[in-house]
Amino acid sequence: MKSYFLTHFHSDHYCGLRAGFDIGTIYCTPITAALVIEMLYVAPKFVVAIPLNETVTIEGVEVTPLEADHCPGAAIWHFEPPGMETAILHTGKPHSHHSATCLISIYR
């Protein structure tokens, strides 16, 4: 089973996601989780809601959704893989017209 991180509920990000999804776990914020379950009919057992600023450990990686200031429920995902010098930011936005300009940023 794979872990998927959905930054926000805009169709260019959840395209292909539909009822019958069963190939992993989708992690997202509570608002996005509710939309995925109620609008796309994804089974709740495949959706895990993590509140903003709450750190959880997933497959050994510390993961924290941060406010993205993009739409309700939107998150930037912060990953801290064990033993790595770098952390990873997944903004979900590679397009230049959005405030966050790259899909993944590695820093420190």
Binding footprint of Zn ion on the chain (CB under 5 A): 10
**Counts for the chain of helices (H) and strands (E), in that order:** 2, 8
Residue nearest to Zn ion (CB): 10
Within 8 A by CB and 6+ apart from 34, the residues are: 49
Whose Cβ is closer to Zn ion: residue 57's or residue 99's? 99
Whose Cβ is closer to Zn ion: residue 10's or residue 78's? 10
For the bound state, the minimum distance from the C-beta of residue 35 to Zn ion, rounded and expressed in Å, comes to 13
Residue position matching structure tokens 């996601």: 17
CA angle 16, 96, 9 (to 5 degrees): 35
For the bound state, the minimum distance from the C-beta of residue 62 to Zn ion, rounded and expressed in Å, comes to 25
Torsions phi, psi for 72 (to 5 deg): -55, 130
Whose Cβ is closer to Zn ion: residue 58's or residue 66's? 66
For the bound state, the minimum distance from the C-beta of residue 1 to Zn ion, rounded and expressed in Å, comes to 26
